[in-house]
Amino acid sequence: MKIRPLACVLCTFATLATGAARKATPEEARKFIDDAEQKLLLLSVDSSMADWVRSTYIIDDTETLAAKLDERAIAATVEYAKQSTRFDGLKLDPVTARKIKLLKLSLTIATPADPKESEELTRIVSGMEGTYGKGKYCPSGPQSCKDLEELSKIMAESRNPQQLLDAWTGWHAISRPIRKDFVRYVELANKGAGQLGFKDNGAMWRSKYDMEPDAFAKELDRIWEQVRPLYLSLHAYVRNRLREKYGDLVPANGPIPAHLLGNMWAQTWDNIYPLVAPANADPGYDLTELLKKHNTDWKGMVKYGESFFASLGFDPLPQTFWERSLFLKPRDRDVVCHASAWDVDSVNDLRLKMCIEITGEDFLTVHHELGHNFYQRAYNKLAPSFRDSANDGFHEAVGDTIALSITPEYLVKIGLLDKAPDTSKDIGLLLHRALDKIAFLPFGLVIDQWRWKVFSGEIPPDKYNETWWQLRQKYQGIAPPVGRREADFDPAAKYHVAANVPYMRYFLADILQFQFHRALSQTAACTAPLNRCSIFDNKAAGARLNSMLEMGQSRPWQEALEKIAGTREMDASAIRDYFAPLQKWLDDQNRGHPVGW
């Protein structure tokens, strides 16, 4: 699930050559950024409309038109970012200063001032993403080729360790050609970031979070330590159960082989739930069956989600939402079915793009995606520069916060379930959710921890792969299933590394959603266990949520967090509260078994 932002994230930047230009004034800076954001808004709307058509009518023409309009919007943003450097060092009013800062920090890479180096870096980034996108494993010639989707299906469903190993090693081989270009990419990206005044490219990424870059890195370590004991308990339990299944292939007290966890990168483990489920895991109901029993159709699925927000005091979705969204997979054309929430005009043209099926999973997804749409509308009266979430983790966190309120009690209130099962039935549900949410946390941390150390020079090129696996063992307790060499370059077997996409937003969203959920549940005066709390039909919780949503990106994220959670500090203790019943159960299951690696 993802949000479709108003405009593409731009990927290149070049500093202006120094010259004897006339000294700029604060008033000129204010006029510059006000004009720039209005012009960029118009270009972004055109780009979003073209991207919508490309995603819902996939043909060569729509792809070509969308690419042209995307490129036009990106080029304009790059040019404005270049021009904004004339105001560096001026004392500006807070609003103007924040707008210019956000303009620059929307960049994910800073190309050097030298045109040849700028072109080279742009070409390298495009080439690395292209190599990843074309990656296939062909064990015995072209007729046997499998792409990532096919290999991921094997990883999710197969219980044959040799087949899993084959799929894992086959995919991880696709990143070897990327290694040479990646070394040069780091060199050039650091040069560009340095010309903007940043220590390195990783420091530039961390500067997006309204904190000093090094302070932000320390903050993440603090948060991780809060949740680490729960991860250790989950890891030990899963390792014990996998050892029962695979024998000595899984060590009794060491890291788990990466290919046995149901996912190509071992980033989430929910696909192996059937292998590790408790003996009495039946929660007492099946949401998919409940939906079908009540003859729910696609519109009913979306109406349930809209009604959730209406119960909190939000206005209904606009009529254009129902007229312009894509809810079902068409029979006559190709579309991108991956669920996403769109804000096409950055005002009120909200849309959902999703090929809805009547399943419990899609029921959660609808609620999640509408969380994005209602967030988008809440900040639509702000200046265009501020029409985004407080930081890049907030948008995903809001959608997931709403999904956490889909409890048995909520299903009773909307008439899908007659009676909520006893809380003793919750262990299976909590374990399944932990295999997704808790298992992901250290992986979400490692991706950018590794890249930051690469950008800073702490990890030299001849230690790329070795240190990658050292970090994965340190944080995740995961080990490669076979011996690895530097030539393997396993980090780039993950899209975000190959494509220069920062990853920390996903770690932040995983933390923030539980902090949001606990704060809103307290506002709703819920006295049940946190995993059973739902804010449905509580106007006080809705008002508290909206007070944060309507701030958009206009203020530092710490102020937005204070609005909803009453604190300016991220706090992972909410995760421990939510999973407290599971923690106790896991500790009982692990008694007599080693914990850690």
Which tokens go with 302? 């979306």
139-153, 243-257, 366-380: least confident range = 139-153
Res 20: pLDDT: 39
pLDDT in tens, 194-252: 887 789 999 999 999 999 998 999 999 999 999 999 999 999 999 999 999 999 999 99
DSSP 326: B
User: What value does the mean pLDDT take over residues 472-491?
Assistant: 96
CA angle at 264 for the pair 263 and 270, rounded to the nearest 5°: 5
Res 308: pLDDT: 97
For the cut 90, the answer to whether the pLDDT of residue 540 exceeds it is yes
For the cut 50, the answer to whether the pLDDT of residue 127 exceeds it is yes
State how far the Cα of 557 lies from the Cα of 508, in Å rounded to an integer: 12
Quickly state the pLDDT bin for 115 (edges 50, 70, 90): confident
Asked about 71 being catalytic, the answer comes back as no
Separation in Å, CA 314 to CA 2, 208, 369, 387, 543: 22, 30, 15, 18, 9
Query: Do the beta carbons of residue 502 and residue 216 sit within 8 Å?
Result: no
The reply to whether 302 falls in a domain is no
DSSP 258: G
DSSP 137: B
For the cut 50, the answer to whether the pLDDT of residue 480 exceeds it is yes
Separation in Å, CA 62 to CA 55, 68, 78, 323, 465: 9, 10, 24, 21, 40
Q: Work out the mean pLDDT of the chain and round it to a whole number.
A: 92
Place of tokens 């007070």: 547
Query: Do the beta carbons of residue 593 and residue 236 sit within 8 Å?
Result: yes
Maximum mean pLDDT: which of 279-293, 311-325, 487-501: 311-325
Name which of 519, 515, 508, 530 is nearest 581 in CA terms. 530
Among 369, 479, 493, 519, the active-site one is: 369
Among 14, 76, 203, 339, the active-site one is: 339
Q: Give the max Cα distance, the chain.
A: 76
CA angle at 457 for the pair 85 and 121, rounded to the nearest 5°: 50
Radius of gyration of the chain (CA): 24
Phi then psi dihedrals of residue 141, to 5 deg: 100, 170
Query: Do the beta carbons of residue 435 and residue 231 sit within 8 Å?
Result: no
Name which of 405, 416, 429, 421 is nearest 292 in CA terms. 416
pLDDT in tens, 61-106: 888 888 788 778 877 887 888 889 899 999 999 999 999 999 988 8
Quickly state the pLDDT bin for 16 (edges 50, 70, 90): very low
Res 193: pLDDT: 86
For the cut 60, the answer to whether the pLDDT of residue 7 exceeds it is no
The reply to whether 45 falls in a domain is yes
For the cut 70, the answer to whether the pLDDT of residue 13 exceeds it is no
Res 281: pLDDT: 80
Query: Do the beta carbons of residue 552 and residue 395 sit within 8 Å?
Result: no
Report how many domains make up the chain: 1
22-26, 218-222, 427-431: least confident range = 22-26
| pTM score | 0.89
CB-neighbour burial class of residue 38 (10 A; exposed 0-12, middle 13-18, buried 19+):
exposed
Name which of 249, 51, 31, 43 is nearest 160 in CA terms. 249
The reply to whether 91 falls in a domain is yes
| Percent of all residues in the chain with a pLDDT value above 90, rounded to a whole number | 76
Asked about 396 being catalytic, the answer comes back as yes
Res 126: pLDDT: 83
201-210, 335-344, 402-411: least confident range = 335-344
For the cut 90, the answer to whether the pLDDT of residue 347 exceeds it is yes
Asked about 120 being catalytic, the answer comes back as no
Res 81: pLDDT: 84
Res 11: pLDDT: 42
Domain extent, residue 40, equals 2-107
For the cut 70, the answer to whether the pLDDT of residue 438 exceeds it is yes
Among 357, 496, 559, 580, the active-site one is: 496
Res 98: pLDDT: 96
pLDDT in tens, 268-309: 999 999 999 998 888 888 999 999 999 999 999 999 999 999
Res 264: pLDDT: 96
pLDDT in tens, 43-63: 999 989 998 998 888 888 888
State how far the Cα of 213 lies from the Cα of 216, in Å rounded to an integer: 5
Query: Do the beta carbons of residue 566 and residue 516 sit within 8 Å?
Result: no
- Helices then strands (H, E): number in the chain? 24, 5
Among 372, 439, 524, 578, the active-site one is: 372
The reply to whether 195 falls in a domain is no
Q: Supply the DSSP string of 355-394, one letter for each residue.
A: ---SSHHHHHHHHHHHHHHHHHHHTTTS-GGG-S-SSTTH
Phi then psi dihedrals of residue 148, to 5 deg: -65, -40
pLDDT in tens, 144-170: 999 988 999 999 999 999 999 999 999
Query: Do the beta carbons of residue 405 and residue 513 sit within 8 Å?
Result: no
**DSSP-based three-state secondary structure for 356:** coil
State how far the Cα of 456 lies from the Cα of 182, in Å rounded to an integer: 14
Place of tokens 């209904």: 316
Among 285, 506, 519, 541, the active-site one is: 506
The reply to whether 9 falls in a domain is yes
State how far the Cα of 333 lies from the Cα of 128, in Å rounded to an integer: 30
Please state the separation of Cα 75 from the chain's center in Å: 25
Query: Do the beta carbons of residue 337 and residue 354 sit within 8 Å?
Result: yes
Structural element, H or E, at residue 350: strand 350-353
Among 338, 458, 466, 528, the active-site one is: 338
For the cut 80, the answer to whether the pLDDT of residue 445 exceeds it is yes
| Percent of all residues in the chain with a pLDDT value above 70, rounded to a whole number | 96
Q: Using H for helix, E for strand and C for coil, what is the string for 50-85?
A: HHHHHHHCCCHHHHHHHHHHHHHHHHHHHHHHHHHH
Query: Do the beta carbons of residue 194 and residue 157 sit within 8 Å?
Result: no
State how far the Cα of 500 lies from the Cα of 122, in Å rounded to an integer: 11
Asked about 306 being catalytic, the answer comes back as no
User: What value does the mean pLDDT take over residues 565-570?
Assistant: 96
State how far the Cα of 461 lies from the Cα of 468, in Å rounded to an integer: 11
The reply to whether 113 falls in a domain is no
**Residue 343 φ/ψ region, left for φ over 0, alpha for ψ in the -120 to 50 degree band, beta for the rest:** beta
Asked about 57 being catalytic, the answer comes back as no
Asked about 339 being catalytic, the answer comes back as yes
Q: What share of the chain is helix, strand, coil (3-state, %, to 5)?
A: 65, 5, 35
User: What value does the mean pLDDT take over residues 385-409?
Assistant: 94
Which tokens go with 164? 């899993």
Res 221: pLDDT: 93
**DSSP-based three-state secondary structure for 190:** helix
Among 368, 439, 509, 524, the active-site one is: 368
Phi then psi dihedrals of residue 353, to 5 deg: -115, 115
Please state the separation of Cα 273 from the chain's center in Å: 22
State how far the Cα of 286 lies from the Cα of 425, in Å rounded to an integer: 13
Residue 587's CB: how many other CB atoms inside 10 A? 14
User: What value does the mean pLDDT take over residues 341-360?
Assistant: 94
The reply to whether 223 falls in a domain is no
The reply to whether 39 falls in a domain is yes
Which tokens go with 422? 């006893």
